[in-house]
Structure 1
Amino acid sequence: MKSLQDEIKTLIIDALNLEDITIDDIETDAPLFGDGLGLDSIDALELGLAVKKQYNVVIDADDAKAREHFASVASLAAFISSNKA
């Protein structure tokens, strides 16, 4: 069974059409934005929608902690785990 972290990596690749990247290329603790995977604010919106659709978990863009939730695959997995019904 795939781990939640691997599911999220797959979701990131699919949602953002990152055709040249595999889940092995995405480090669990590496930053998703900036120096890490290099995502931007548009990617964050796309990813937020994908997370909502896949896991029925909403990340409020106005939430001060939204940036923390999107910091890495590990932090996103922790957020989803703690908010899934």
Structure 2
Amino acid sequence: MTNLKLELKNMIIDTLELEDISADEIIDSEPLFVDGLGLDSIDALEIGLALQTKYGIRLKADSKETHGHFASINALAALVESYKETN
């Protein structure tokens, strides 16, 4: 597991106060919403705010592209990496 993916998993756990799950239990390619981790739209807003605070990433909530970024840990890591490269 890369440091970035571990960092993102811990950010999600801390942000959403998920006390019953560890970073090791979150599978990088599994969906974060509905199936998989089972997060919802309120969770997405909180994660979006955490991404903005930690990495300076601003996302549009109603964008299809944003929905793709939140598909999995792999997708979030790709978003953060691409943001770091362009900024």
Distance 1:26 1:38 in 2: 11
Give ranges in structure 1 of 5+ residues lacking alignment: none
Partner residue, 2:33: 33
Query: Whole-Å Cα distance in 2 between the matches of residues 75 and 65 of structure 1?
Result: 11
- Per-residue deviation at 1:62? 2.2
Q: Is 1:66 matched with 2:61?
A: no
Which structure is higher in helix share? 2
User: Secondary structure at 2:50's aligned position in 1?
Assistant: helix
| Unaligned segments of structure 2, at least 5 residues | none
What is the number of residues matched between the two proteins? 84
Residue 47 (structure 2) aligns with: 47
Q: Does 1:21 align with 2:21?
A: yes
Q: 2:3 and 2:39 mapped to 1: Cα distance?
A: 22
Deviation at 1:60, TM superposition (A): 1.4
Give the alignment's TM-score, normalised by structure 1.
0.94
Compute the TM-score of the two structures, normalised by the length of structure 2: 0.92
